[in-house]
């Protein structure tokens, strides 16, 4: 991204030149956007890509924690079932 100038107002705005590779790194153009959707005046929340990444990281963290609890509970249940079968 190349900063070409500044806009007016608050929060501070920038006039930028961004190429399609940079946009692809932030957004999933295959599913949500296509380059034909981009035209003068279209507004895109650049933070959306970061928010999505942060949401995925949180999801994976919770998944791993839940999986660890499941492994412990599964072992207890297996041992209980094994003791019932051996009786």
Residues in the chain: 87
Q: pLDDT, tens digit, for every residue of 11-53?
A: 888 899 988 788 777 766 555 556 667 788 888 777 776 677 7
The structure's pTM equals 0.43
- Tell how many helices (H) and how many strands (E) occur in the chain: 2, 2
Q: Which residue is it, tokens 């946009």? A: 23
Q: Which helix (H) or strand (E) holds 17?
A: strand 14-17
Q: What is the mean pLDDT of the chain?
A: 83
């Amino acid at each position: 991204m190349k900063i070409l100038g500044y806009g007016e107002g608050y929060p501070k705005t920038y006039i930028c030149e961004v190429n399609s590779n940079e946009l692809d790194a932030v957004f999933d153009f295959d599913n949500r956007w296509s380059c034909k959707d981009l035209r003068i005046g279209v507004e895109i929340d650049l933070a959306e890509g970061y928010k999505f990444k942060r949401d995925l990281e949180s999801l994976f963290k919770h998944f791993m924690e839940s999986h660890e609890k499941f492994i412990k509970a599964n072992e207890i249940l297996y041992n209980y079932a094994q003791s019932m079968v051996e009786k």
